[in-house]
Structure 1
Amino acid sequence: MEKMRQWGWLLGSLAAMLFLVLFFVGDGNYDETTSPVRRSLRSIIPWQQQGVNLLTRTPKRVVLDNGIVKVVFSVPGGDVIGIQYKGLDILEMRNEESNRGYWDVVWSPRSIYDKIQGTKFKIITAKPDQAEISFVKTYDVSFGNSTVPFNVDKRYILQRGGSGFYAYAIFERLEGWPEAEVDQIRIVYKLQQAKFQYMALSDTRQRIMPRASDRDHGVKLAYPEAVLLTNPSNPDLRGEVDDKYQYSIENKDNKVHGWICTDQSVGFWMITPSDEFRTCGPIKQDLTSHVGPTTLSMFVSTHYAGKQVGIKFGEGEAWKKVFGPVFVYLNSAPSSTNNSISTLWNDAKQQMLEEVESWPYNFTQSEDFPSSDQRGSVSGQLLIHDRYINESLFSASSAYVGLAAPGEVGSWQTENKGYQFWNQADDEGRFIIKDVRPGNYSLYAWVPGIVGDYKYEADITITPGCDIELDNLTYEPPRNGPTLWEIGIPDRTAAEFHVPDPYPTLLNKLYRNHSENFRQYGLWARYEERYPHRDLVYTVGVDDYHDDWFYAQVTRNTGNETYVGTTWQIVFDLNNVTSPGNYTLQLALASANSAELQVRINNQSDEQPHFSTKLIGGDNAIARHGIHGLYWLFSVDIPSPLLKEGNNTIYLAQTRGGQTFQGVMYDYIRLEAPSSTPVVT
């Protein structure tokens, strides 16, 4: 026994010596993911801690601790009430335990904000290298509408040697349960305010942030989320606007975001390796991190889309879905590092890439989360047939191609109950969509630079292990004749149009001289300054849409906060009019909010419009600095008698008023001649 103790002491000493050697021979830019020190830690720590239990519990607490990260949960509720990393309390411990790390749901019929509280705790697995725990909330039909009608199984996983933990949840409805409408499902972590003040969302979106108390002393602006900081704790932030919607990101780009404690060089990151469980497709925008300091993982929301993307369940409708796993990652850098912020951010990005490469995870213990060998793939090539662009088929370069629940063309952007799987095609339109859950899907696509949506004519059934190779697919975009003129780029955003400079007194300095300058507050109000006496008039062939087409058609304040719709004009010349024949106005909108767009041809005073969208949209992208919400496409026939040789005018009237943020953003407008008109090359 004495010899065994001696050998144990000797091996432990050798391990410690190896650690010190690796530390001092490492380069000065210590990085926990890529440096020799971090690599050595990954191999030494599991070996040093053999026999140390990852999981301990008391009647009201359960603790996951691997010697790197310690996570404390309430029992049986399943809230994360404490996270420790390198001796630092990560969460705001002054908050109530239920207000530190939690899942929540916003649902109707009574617009209830429901923090999901488990009623039963269970250890799923407790192995030397991994622990997985479960907190289950069980619904009974006798509860009625007193709580959200779901069974919810919240799961957490900690692995030995891992610098973070995984979180996911299984939501389920059974037959016979009452109807419900869900507008939001998310995870929230509220970090220590005194420590975490630097936020990072991307390479170009990082900054020192105000504190929550700074907002309390500020001036509330047009809506509660936007506040002008008048006396912030950091004087450098005085006069800036803080608004959580300024930090939104599209799903496809929302892979890693978080916060840095600069004085101790510690980072806290939310890593989302897959979009499959998020709703409404790859370009749906959502919140990330914001003042608090708060870190979010958004799974379901109506942001930038409106109530129509809330999940609606009918009476008795059964359903099940797994949200996650996502990875909460923590890292650190030595105080001697010259640029610890860059080191921590780059390390978090590297960890994100590793998580993406590991997806789908093979270590989860739920049968509802299929591993890679239980999934399938689809591949093919998408081509475009538009003879007015090219007589031959041409590649759908960089097309977004995806599988989502069977539906109509374009229905993927409002689909919210199932899973979606997307990838971007190469320059030749070739695509492969891997690791698709078994089920029935439609294949959808849209192509940057090409108007409209594509849908494959047949549904696709994915079975475990399948590898489906489709024949060449051909997309024929909406087109009736040759282009006479066009305004904008068909890319589903209004970013190419005139985005005005922000008010100097309402700046967010992050977006000064930034490619996403549309995220500045109050830009909509600059419309009336630019067009004080009459609405926008755009002359084809003279004006440039980059400068002369305002990014949003908003309402006008006529005094006493009375807002009315506006009418824009497109003026163009026709050398001759093909008669008989139908011209076509392709009208693509990047956003609509409580709007009605009416089209009149050459007579603004016509009592009845030639075309109306009727009341559409609720995405509120104008107020939320989104540059796009949901995509709308209308093909408007214009009989030739409505046009004339020489000067013509199309009137675009957004007729709904009453509020500041009613209006539309345009994506692209094109006038086509009748199909009998010769093609001009």
Structure 2
Amino acid sequence: MIADGEVDEDSEYENSVPGFHGRHAWSEELSDKNIRTSLKLDFGNASMENQRMMKIAPRVHLYVEDEQVTVDNGILKLKISKPEGQVIGLEYNGIENLLEFTKGSANTGGYWDVNWDTFGSNKDFHIDLIDGKEFAVIINNVNQVELSFKTTWNPSLKANVPLSIDKRFIVLRGSSGFYAYAIYEHKQDWPGFELQQTRMAFKLNEDMFRYMALSDYRQREMPLPEDRDRDRSIVLAYPEAVRIIRPIDPECKGEVDDKYQYSTDNEDNKVHGWISSYPPTGFWLITPSNEFRTGGPTKQDLTSHVGPTSLTMFVSNHYAGEGLNPKFRKGEHWKKVFGPIFVYLNSSPNKQSAKSMLWNDAKVQMENEVKSWPYNFPASADFQKARIRGSVSGRLMVQDWIISEGNMAASWAYIGLAEPGLTGSWQLECKGYQFWTRADMNGNFNISNVRTGVYGLFAWIPNFIGDYKYENTITITPGKSEQ
């Protein structure tokens, strides 16, 4: 085992802090909350106390071996296969591996996959596990490690999706979790195809994680994966839906289990995950922005389900059909960044109230990640930082002659930017980025941190029939605010 490019000088750490945002700190028991979680450290404008805590937080170490790499920041150890880029181990809170991993198995640990079809065909369907072919260390210092696992389409392998995919993993100093994102690219001279789904999935330790939480009102002890076996359940209208008849836990008898029961609107799908009771430990997927998801804020998609499994869905046609499948023709260039998402880990010494405490802490962490968006630490230039982005503001009025002769404020309207198109086309927009906000009571709105590009402005108002589309396109340039 070798350490790759480690730095030992504290002075270099102090001088090279890259301006991180959010709750990134080493795990510490907080007496007022009885929870081991992150401390809020603003690396961009650190107070004296925060600077002291930065020094206390263990440095990030990278260890590179023949078939795997390990990143250790003193809070967690992240193990990733090399060069494939599959998460094979996640050590935290004295637990050797939070994940269920079997070497040689496809759907195990943490992985990216893609469902695709030959363009214009409904017969040549493929599900590809996205395995990297090239491994690279992008950043390696005491504050941050960023790793790349890249695969590029090979014309001799016709059965592989014609994409270049660069998977990235980031571990920060003092962070109780890790970040993941990927850059997808279809080059102009590559074959056409239809993208049906792509996601990042995590299979958690079956012996530990039984309690699932999606929201304040959607959380419970879940059936075991064995309860879905054919000798314990009856398949209903489709394979994902079963009625449990002979469960291991009698409390689950008669229940219908179906992963689609746990879907959530994109706008609400910001944090979900699992809790282990022994020891009290939380595993959470946090999505701080919906800009890279398809179908806008009201599009529903999968979250977590029996497995225990947690998903981050980037592209899917769930509940919408093939109209939401991105279709790429030969001659079309396309590139998109999915993520970063944050995999957050927390723990509590208080077993009696651990579930509520861990869930509430995960929500706090989610809010901090949202406030920190767009992150300033990803190394890829394809992920635009805040200084490059722009904003749009204005006021939306609505006409309804039955209610009022004059214009009325479009109170609480949904207002968004998406690829230019027809009125309502944002609902089927699946190649570009979308940026949405809610107007205030007076119809005023501000859409901030918008990637550079040309957009259409769309809106709809609760309790009013019809969609709105601004007649002109809007061009976002770096650092500019459009009104």
TM above 0.5: yes
CA contact (8 A) 1:60 1:76 kept: yes
- Matched residue, 2:448: 434
- Matched residue, 2:75: 68
Give deviations 1:492-533, integer Å, cap 9, x for gaps.
xxxxxxxxxxxxxxxxxxxxxxxxxxxxxxxxxxxxxxxxxx
1:316 Cα deviation from its structure 2 partner: 2.3
Note the 1:225-624 alignment, pairs <5 A: 225-334=240-349, 336-469=350-483
Gaps of 5+ in 2: 1-26, 42-46, 119-123
Q: Structure 1 residues 324 and 23, CA, compared in 2 at 3 Å: closer, same or farther?
A: closer
Q: Structure 1 residues 41 and 256, CA, compared in 2 at 3 Å: closer, same or farther?
A: farther
Amino acid at match of 2:384: P
CA contact (8 A) 1:32 1:332 kept: yes
CA distance in 2, matches of 1:96, 1:218: 28
Match of 2:162 among 117, 126, 149: 149
- Matched residue, 1:101: 110
What secondary structure does 1:347 align onto?
Answer: helix
The structure with the largest alpha-carbon Rg is 1
1:64 Cα deviation from its structure 2 partner: 1.0
Match of 2:175 among 138, 142, 162: 162
Match of 2:198 among 167, 181, 185: 185
1:33 Cα deviation from its structure 2 partner: 4.4
Match of 2:214 among 201, 208, 217: 201
Match of 2:146 among 126, 132, 138: 132
Note the 1:18-37 alignment, pairs <5 A: 26-27=31-32, 29-30=34-35, 32-33=37-38
- Matched residue, 1:79: 86
Amino acid at match of 1:55: L
Give deviations 1:49-105, integer Å, cap 9, x for gaps.
66x552111011111110111110111100001111112110013464542110000
CA distance in 2, matches of 1:43, 1:78: 33
Amino acid at match of 1:190: K
Q: Structure 1 residues 378 and 76, CA, compared in 2 at 3 Å: closer, same or farther?
A: same
Q: Structure 1 residues 23 and 166, CA, compared in 2 at 3 Å: closer, same or farther?
A: closer
Higher helix share: 1
Give deviations 1:553-596, integer Å, cap 9, x for gaps.
xxxxxxxxxxxxxxxxxxxxxxxxxxxxxxxxxxxxxxxxxxxx
CA distance in 2, matches of 1:372, 1:34: 24
1:390 Cα deviation from its structure 2 partner: 1.1
Residue 47 in 1 paired to residue 55 in 2? yes
Q: Structure 1 residues 53 and 436, CA, compared in 2 at 3 Å: closer, same or farther?
A: closer
Q: Structure 1 residues 23 and 75, CA, compared in 2 at 3 Å: closer, same or farther?
A: closer
Using the aligned pairs only, state the percent identity. 52
CA distance in 2, matches of 1:195, 1:135: 29
Amino acid at match of 1:291: V
CA contact (8 A) 1:31 1:343 kept: no
CA distance in 2, matches of 1:25, 1:127: 28
What secondary structure does 2:37 align onto?
Answer: coil
CA contact (8 A) 2:259 2:305 kept: yes
Q: Structure 1 residues 356 and 419, CA, compared in 2 at 3 Å: closer, same or farther?
A: same
Give deviations 1:425-452, integer Å, cap 9, x for gaps.
1111111000000000000000000011
Q: Structure 1 residues 97 and 59, CA, compared in 2 at 3 Å: closer, same or farther?
A: farther
CA contact (8 A) 1:401 1:443 kept: yes
CA distance in 2, matches of 1:292, 1:25: 32
Amino acid at match of 2:136: K
Q: Structure 1 residues 49 and 272, CA, compared in 2 at 3 Å: closer, same or farther?
A: closer
Amino acid at match of 2:194: E
Q: Structure 1 residues 147 and 84, CA, compared in 2 at 3 Å: closer, same or farther?
A: same
CA distance in 1, matches of 2:48, 2:199: 35
CA distance in 1, matches of 2:50, 2:187: 43
Give deviations 1:211-244, integer Å, cap 9, x for gaps.
1111002111111111111111211111111010
Residue 91 in 1 paired to residue 99 in 2? yes
Amino acid at match of 2:187: L
CA contact (8 A) 2:57 2:174 kept: no
Q: Structure 1 residues 23 and 128, CA, compared in 2 at 3 Å: closer, same or farther?
A: closer
- Matched residue, 2:127: 113
1:141 Cα deviation from its structure 2 partner: 3.3
CA distance in 1, matches of 2:190, 2:226: 42
CA contact (8 A) 2:60 2:144 kept: no
Q: Structure 1 residues 338 and 429, CA, compared in 2 at 3 Å: closer, same or farther?
A: same
What secondary structure does 2:446 align onto?
Answer: strand
Amino acid at match of 1:302: N
What secondary structure does 1:197 align onto?
Answer: strand
Q: Structure 1 residues 352 and 35, CA, compared in 2 at 3 Å: closer, same or farther?
A: closer
1:127 Cα deviation from its structure 2 partner: 1.3
- Matched residue, 2:184: 171
Structure 1 vs Structure 2 CA RMSD: 2.1
Q: Structure 1 residues 394 and 360, CA, compared in 2 at 3 Å: closer, same or farther?
A: same
Residue 212 in 1 paired to residue 220 in 2? no
CA distance in 2, matches of 1:247, 1:26: 34
Amino acid at match of 2:411: S
CA distance in 1, matches of 2:84, 2:49: 33
How many aligned positions are there?
A: 443
CA contact (8 A) 2:416 2:434 kept: yes
